[in-house]
A and B are shown apart, each in its own frame.
Chain A
Amino acid sequence: MALLQITEPGQAQDPHQRKRAAGIDLGTTNSLIAGVRGGVTQTLADHDGSHLLPSVVRYTDAGAVVGLDAMNAAQEDPLNTIISVKRMMGRGIEDLKGLGAQLPYEFAETDGGMVRLQTVAGAVSPVAVSAEILKNLVQRGTESLAGELDGVVITVPAYFDDAQRQATRDAARLVGLNVLRLLNEPTAAAVAYGLDSGIEGMIAVYDLGGGTFDISLLRLNKGVFEVIATGGDSALGGDDFDRRIAEWLVEQAGYKGDLSPTQLRTLLSQARALKETLSDQERATVQVAVDDFEFSGELTRDTLNSLIAELIDQSIKACRRALRDAGETSVANVVLVGGSTRVPAVRDAVAAFFGITPLSDIDPDRVVAIGAAIQANILIGNKWEDEMLLLDVLPLSLGLETVGGLVEKIIGRNTAIPVARAREFTTYKDGQSAMLIHVVQGERELVSDCRSLARFELRGIPPMVAGAARIEVLFQVDADGLLSVSAAEATTGVKASIEVLPSYGLNEHEITDMLKASIDHARSDIDLRILTEARVDAGRVVDALESALAVDSKRLLSDADIKMLQQGVVTLQEIVKGTDPAAINEGVEMLGKASEDFAALRMDAAVREAFTGQQVKALEEDF
């Protein structure tokens, strides 16, 4: 693989100071962090030289242990060792039963909502477990890149719904990370390949990880990556291969009893080893003895292929569907992502379906983190040789519950984000002042077949007779694929306040409590961080305004306006010298307000002039 070279340092205040940005692949089985070192985008290793951090957290009396040490304890301490936590993110207890996995955990009692795991450290949420993994990776990143990280891009499966994305963001918040963007894993892989090998046209990214399967179709055109369709299965992965092999072992051994958690763990890790051996060899021998379970024998690749054929078919079916959604019959390239694509039967099936040999030049375990690191560096403003823009889509349709438990779709799947849709509602009782809106995500017609995202409670509707109020509700999905809702009564303009009751997420209270509980956030730390953040915000507003004034003030503003804004900059710069974060924030807000109109004028001008340069170029090319 060619090395990804960095050209100029970024536009940071100190020209020699590049900002530290990293890409994090928070995987089901393994997690990675990547950054730029010596001009090369690469995954970062720990002290022992290993790049993959097993996504395993073990809770002990002395605190949490993450990675290999935790994984090695999985068999002896299954209840306190959390494996594949990603499958539990934004999920309720009912969902986990549906995963078909025998999860060897004790679940704490909750009143619905996201699951909690009972450990020696008390009941922990999957968000807190993920935060432990993130903390470990960030530590590694900070050491490798020699300093605090200024921002990260975290990847999520394209098929993650809103609750799962929100849970991922919350985990990052617990660690105090500046998340520049949540990036879909297949898109990240496409970035790594697209910018590296310069491929163009329609590409398919087939991403089979430990626990999730994603297929994405992207169109690459002069540095613009446009996601056309995504599909997949958020409960299909290499773990299922392991489970099929484990079931085969049980069957071959003629074992009739119930497996203990320890036996199950042992069988699953044996199964995994068998699968890995069979990626290079035609046959593998196996010998298992754990408590009263005993078996020795041989597994051939052919038998393995027949055990997992059905699972691979399931993934190919999703590929066919995505092609159909995209309105395409073929693609120019196929990229393989995820450790499970090392299985020869998977490669063969993908090659056969798309009719081309898939690309796998970049390590399928690392490609996502590398792509995320590239995006992180571009987003944070470090200069890159290549211009790049990612245009992503909403993976699953958003809908509202209507009468009779039916779903009314508001935004269809594969709609380009950011996107907003407005819906008008009315009251059905005289003087009704509140209203409940239930938002679900999924493709099915019944609410009960879709995922419940949240209930939005609208309050403060002005009293009117039934049917007279016109409440306009705006559903906005941002560039991270996250939903927010706002509402106003149209005839009076009264803004309704909205309380979000997430179905599987954490509410603000829980997040705040977890933040407080975290020993990493000692009081003085918090004060300092608040002041630093306020100063960074102020710097941002001043920098943006000064460079805008330098470029555009003459043609867009009156002399009086220019003077007023320049004065505002001076005032804020004075306030920043103080140590009162509240005063700084107030100053930031004031200058922000004052420069809002100017920013809007500049944006309008930029849109009007977007094609001008291009037309000149097109003319030149004609000659």
Chain B
Amino acid sequence: MDFNQNYFEIFQLPVSFELDEDQLAARHRQLQSTVHPDKFVGAPDHEKRLSLQWATQINSAYDTLRAPLPRAIYLLALKDVNIEDNPQLDPMFLMKQIELREQLEDIGEQAESAALTSLDAFKADVDARMAGLQLEFAAHYEADAGAAEQAVYKLQFINKLRQAADHLEEKLLDY
């Protein structure tokens, strides 16, 4: 397998944070149509193995590129910037995070219908922040990897917050 290809090259897409998700999905389908194990059911074992390896690699590439956060982390890795587990973050940003967390907790204590309404507004706010940080990442990625890295750490926070909001919604809707 040609391991030198990076994930963008596999899909023959430019190395960039901005990406056409429909095009990525279409190319993922095309590639799987070529390499998927279903196409190698009657093939000798060594071809089956190759097919499994390629199909797995293409799925990994697809999973990494289609969601913004893993895509951003991967883009940094291509510049040899590896994400730290306990990064230093802007105190102002952290204060805001604590505030947002508290806001979410308060929503959890409201009566169900009121909670769901507040939660919708909360999620919209979080999504807007997420979109802002994605723009920030894209703007800095080429010229200032350090600033792009900071945006990723913030995105990780916001992403977790968004998951917590989803979790609360699941609980409220009794899934």
Contact = CB atoms under 8 A, between A and B. Distances in A.
Nearest to B41: A379
B54 A603 contact: yes
A529 interface: no
Residue from the set B27, B45, B46, B175 with the largest chain A CB neighbour count within 10 Å: B46
Interface stretch (B55-63, B87-95, B97-105, B148-156): B55-63
A391 B29 CA distance: 9
Interface string A398-421: 000000000000000001111110
B51 interface: yes
A611 B41 contact: no
B71 interface: no
B44 A540 contact: yes
Contact of B1 (A387, A415, A540, A604): A604
A595 interface: yes
A161 B170 CA distance: 23
Contact of A611 (B1, B27, B47, B54): B27
Given A379-B42, A537-B45, A593-B46, 14 more contacts: A226-B29, A380-B41, A381-B42, A389-B36, A418-B55, A420-B56, A476-B52, A478-B52, A479-B55, A544-B47, A599-B47, A603-B47, A607-B10, A607-B54
A606 interface: yes
A418 B52 contact: yes
B52 A389 contact: no
Contacts of B62: 416
Contacts of A607: 2, 10, 31, 34-35, 54, 58
A380 B47 contact: no
14 contacts: A151-B41, A380-B41, A381-B41, A381-B42, A415-B59, A416-B62, A418-B37, A419-B60, A476-B56, A537-B44, A540-B43, A604-B1, A606-B34, A607-B31
Given A418-B59, A540-B42, A611 B32 contact: no
A599 to B, nearest CB: 5
A301 B49 CA distance: 55
Nearest to B42: A381
B38 A610 contact: no
A603 B175 contact: no
Contacts of B54: 603, 607
A596 interface: yes
Given A221-B29, A610-B30, A614-B30, A390 B38 contact: yes
Interface of A: 151, 180-181, 221, 224, 226, 317, 320-321, 324, 378-381, 387, 389-391, 415-420, 476, 478-479, 537, 540-541, 544-545, 588, 592-593, 595-596, 599-600, 603-604, 606-607, 610-611, 614
Nearest to B51: A603
B175 A320 contact: yes
B35 to A, nearest CB: 6
Secondary structure at chain B's binding surface: helix, strand, loop or mixed?
helix
B60 A420 contact: yes
Given A416-B59, A599-B50, A604 B38 contact: no
Contacts of A545: 44
Contact of A479 (B1, B37, B58): B37
Q: How large is the interface on B (under 10, 10 to 19, 20 to 34, 35 or more residues)?
A: 35 or more
Contacts of B175: 317, 320-321, 324
A544 B60 contact: no
Nearest to B29: A224
Nearest to B44: A541
Nearest to A375: B38
A419 B56 contact: yes
Contacts of A604: 1-2
A321 B54 CA distance: 31
A297 B42 CA distance: 59
Contacts of A321: 170, 175
Contacts of A221: 29
B33 interface: yes
Contacts of B42: 379-381, 540
A379 B38 contact: yes
A588 B50 CA distance: 17
Interface of B: 1-2, 10, 12, 27, 29-39, 41-47, 50-52, 54-56, 58-60, 62-63, 170, 173-175
A607 B43 CA distance: 18
B3 to A, nearest CB: 10
Nearest to B9: A608
A613 to B, nearest CB: 9
A420 to B, nearest CB: 5
A413 to B, nearest CB: 13
A541 B40 CA distance: 12
Contacts of A151: 41
A478 B36 CA distance: 11
Contacts of B27: 610-611
Closest 5 CB pairs of A and B: A479-B37, A541-B44, A379-B41, A604-B2, A418-B56
A417 to B, nearest CB: 7
A478 B37 contact: yes
B55 A544 contact: no
Contacts of B59: 415-419
Contacts of B35: 603, 606-607
A540 B48 CA distance: 12
A202 B34 CA distance: 23
B32 A592 contact: no
Residue from the set B1, B35, B36, B42 with the largest chain A CB neighbour count within 10 Å: B42
Nearest to B43: A544
A378 B33 CA distance: 13
Residue from the set B38, B50, B63, B173 with the largest chain A CB neighbour count within 10 Å: B38
A586 B44 CA distance: 14
Contacts of A610: 27, 30-31, 33-34
A390 B59 CA distance: 13
B27 to A, nearest CB: 6
Contacts of A181: 38, 41
Nearest to B174: A317
A162 to B, nearest CB: 17
A221 B52 CA distance: 23
Contact of A224 (B33, B37, B170): B33
A379 B37 CA distance: 10
A399 to B, nearest CB: 17
A550 to B, nearest CB: 16
Contacts of B2: 604, 607
B157 to A, nearest CB: 19
B175 to A, nearest CB: 5
A389 B44 contact: no
Nearest to A421: B60
Nearest to A223: B33
Contacts of A224: 29, 32-33
Contacts of A476: 52, 56
